[in-house]
Structure formats: C-alpha cells, structure tokens
Homo-oligomer: A and B are copies of this chain.
Amino acid sequence: MPRKTTHSNPRPPSRLHRRSSKLGLPAGSLVHTGERRMLATALTLFNYDETGLEEVRFDNIEASHNYQPRYRKIWLNVHGLHDPAVMQEIGRRFNLHPLMQEDILNTDSRVKVEDYGDTLFVVGRILSYESETESTDMDQVSIVLGQNFVLSFQEQPRGALDSIRERLRQDRGNLRKQSSDFLAYALLDVLVDRCFISLDALTEHTEKLEEDILDPRQRDILIRLHRARRETLALRRVIWPLRESISSLQRGGSKLLQPETLLYLRDVYDHSVHLLESIDALRDLQSGMLDVYLSSVSNKVNSEVRMLTVITTLFMPATLIAGIFGMNFHYMPVLEEHNGFYWSLAGMGLIAVVMLSVFWRSRWLK
C-alpha cells in the first residue's frame, strides 16, 4: 500500500551523478556529458561600455565570424552545450585552457573557482524550484571572467539572468560603467539569490511536514521526511563549495578583481554563509522531527498494547466464570440457586467495573 503512494509521487531526479561515460579519454577531451536535449545552441552577446550598448543574438557560431565589437566590454552568454565545435571556437577566440573547456562541457563539474592567470573560471549551479514535483532542478552555469569580457554558459535558458540583462539595457546600478568583474559578481549574486527561493520552498515544505507528523491520518510521513532531508542535503552540497569558492576568490588576490568588487563579493559571501546556517537550522529541525515521529510510533504501539491488555483483562474473568458455571458436575448446589444466573451476571459486571475503575485511577484509559 505504501508502495502505490510512492509510485504516484514521481521520484525526484537522482542527485547522485554518473561520470563513467567519459572514462578512458585524455583530459581536455571535449565531450558533452549532459543529457542531449535537442535545443539549438544560442549565443547572446552584449557589447557595451559607459558610452553605449549593443545586443546581438547569433543562432550558430558561424554567424558570429564577422562580428566586430563597437564598445569596450563584452558579455557572451551561451545556451545549449551539446555541440563541442562551438566550445572549441569560443575557446580559440578567447584563449581558454583545454581543461577549462572540458569542465564547461561536462555538465556535472564540481562547483569551484579556478584562477588561470589571465582568466578566472567559476563553475556554479543555477537552481529552479519546480513546484509541481516539489523538487529543485539544478543546472550548471560556467562563468569565465577575462580582462574585458565575461562568458557565461548554461544548458537551458531559465530566465534567471534576465534581471541582469534588463539592468544592463537600462543601465541601472551603473552596471555599464563598472568593469567586467562587477558583471561577473552580479551573475554570482543571482546564483546565490536563486538558492534562497529553493531554501524557502524547502523550509515551507518542512514546516508543513512538521504539522503533519502528529496527524494520524497522514501516511508516508517518513518517506516524505526522508526526501525533504535528501533535498536539503543536495542544496547544502551546492552551497558549501560555493561558499568555499567565493572565500578563495576574496583571498586569492586575482588582478582581475577591483577592490570595490571585493567589497561586494564579501556581501555575496555573507549571503552564502547565511544560506548555510539556515540549511543547518533546517537539518536540525528535520532531525528533531524524525525523533518526534519515531517516538510517536513507539507511543502508538504502547497505547495499542495497553488497549489489548485492557480488553483481555475485562473479558477473561467473565469468560472463566461462565465456563465454571458451565461445568457438568453432578453436585453443583450453586446451580440450584433461584437467582444464580443473575448473580453470576452481576458478578461478571462487578469485576469489570472494578477493573475499569482501577485502570482509570492508574491513568491507563487515555
């Protein structure tokens, strides 16, 4: 019966990745390891500086061959990574290290920051909470920061970066005037902010579960709790290395980062620490809920054993009395008593009442 309920809730996507498909190839081999969703590659280019902004969209890499940037700074965003040729061409133009290209294509890279000297490479995750499955979907986002350019790579467009595009177009928050590292910071900030949405959804889900725990009509509490804990751990595993990465960025002293940007990075770092603390609070709450649930199960066994004992205790003496007066001895003078039958019934009732009152006094009945 629990089985069926389990089937009706679709199993959340596995968080435990598999890498073995790429084994045996030399490091730096460009193989796309994501699921081959047939989305066309799309390149969106923002060419801007404080004097102006040009937004161009290429449908394939060849279309961009003759493009000449008019402004000083570039942000190139790439959706759809299934074609290694695109990566190779971008890597050639922006002079990216083969290992970096490999990590961008491999859609299961670890969250990290790597300093390649003239470029900074950040691997993050973008979280989208899917309300119908009550789970969080995770996509890899790779960000490359160079002297005057920022590259960002995603599997699928998710709308997360739209707010930054809008700020660029309207030149809000001086985004155009600031150097490229500030744009990279803004992308990171969006990634961290998306985590708050997932965490809020998880928190709400957990607090709903907390109310359900003592409701006897609720079923599958434990499996739902198990899943909530799994989701929480999965979230933690995204944010923990993110925090480490931002912290190493701050300490790293890359010449690509302006001092003012470092101040803003400290703010993102602060948010990621806040996220971790909230996740740990959530996990503590979930552990406590598990204790309460397991103990409430024990208490139920307890009260049912007690009910069994009460019933047995009420009926056994009466049954014995009935058995005694059903014996066939030839000389049983009590049977001759005129009101014997009624006296015996009264005796049975009396014993039951006495027992009930004893139970009542020892607070056994509820």
Q: A69–B31 Cα gap in the complex (Å)?
A: 37
Contacts of A63 in B (CB 8 A): none
CB within 8 Å for A295 and B295 given contacts A112-B270, A237-B281: no
Confirm or deny: A97 has a beta carbon within 8 angstroms of a beta carbon on chain B.
Answer: yes
Are B20 and A197 touching (Cβ within 8 A)? Answer: yes
Contacts of A175 in B (CB 8 A): 26
Contacts of A99 in B (CB 8 A): 263-264, 267
Confirm or deny: A9 has a beta carbon within 8 angstroms of a beta carbon on chain B.
Answer: no
Confirm or deny: A139 has a beta carbon within 8 angstroms of a beta carbon on chain B.
Answer: no
Confirm or deny: A132 has a beta carbon within 8 angstroms of a beta carbon on chain B.
Answer: no
CB within 8 Å for A173 and B26 given contacts A110-B273, A363-B217: yes
Confirm or deny: A94 has a beta carbon within 8 angstroms of a beta carbon on chain B.
Answer: no
Size bracket of the A interface = 35 or more
Q: Which residue of B lies closest to A6 (CB)?
A: B214
Confirm or deny: A298 has a beta carbon within 8 angstroms of a beta carbon on chain B.
Answer: yes
Are B27 and A267 touching (Cβ within 8 A)? Answer: yes
Q: A275–B217 Cα gap in the complex (Å)?
A: 42
CB within 8 Å for A288 and B14 given contacts A24-B193, A114-B266: no
Are A291 and B222 touching (Cβ within 8 A)? Answer: yes
Interface residues of A (CB under 8 A from B): 1-3, 6, 14-20, 23-24, 26-28, 97, 99, 109-110, 112, 114, 163, 167, 172-173, 175, 186, 189, 193-194, 196-197, 200, 203, 206-207, 214-217, 222-223, 226, 229-230, 233-234, 237, 241, 263-264, 266-268, 270, 273-274, 277-278, 281-282, 284-285, 288-302, 304-309, 311-313, 315-320, 322-332, 335-341, 344-345, 348, 363, 366
Which 5 residue pairs of A and B lie closest in terms of their CB atoms, listed nearest first? A322-B323, A325-B327, A26-B173, A315-B316, A329-B341
